[in-house]
Amino acid sequence: MSTTSPSDPAGLVDRHVVDRYRPITGERRPLEAWPGLIEALAIDLERNAEPLAAIRSVLRDALGAEVSALRVSDIAIWMEARS
């Protein structure tokens, strides 16, 4: 069971995402990175809307369910960190 509250984003942000955006946010700790992280993610989602839509379409067909652009980005960042 999670003890993270909606007012505490530290438990909601994956370490890989914080690390990926560290050059932009300048922060290592999720709570401090949160404002800059949200802004940078929003910009990236907008800039990459077309390729994300294509990936989401393939996943929707394969899974029979919607996957958000944010979730696709989260998975891509996680995969990048594993390589």
In a domain, 1, yes or no: no
pLDDT (tens digit per residue) in 54-83 = 999 999 999 999 999 999 998 888 888 888
**Can you give the residue range of the structural domain that contains 40?**
9-82
- Please tell me which residue, 82 or 1, carries the higher pLDDT value: 82
Domain presence at residue 3 = no
Q: Of 13, 12, 11, 18, which is closest to residue 81 (Cα–Cα)? A: 18
Q: How far apart are CA 67 and CA 2, in angstroms?
A: 23
In whole angstroms, what is the distance from residue 33 CA to residue 12 CA?
A: 12
What does the pLDDT look like over 27-52, one tens digit per residue? Answer: 988 888 889 999 999 999 999 999 99
In this structure, are residues 53 and 70 in contact, taking their beta carbons and an 8 Å threshold? no
Instruction: Identify whether 4 is part of a domain.
Output: no
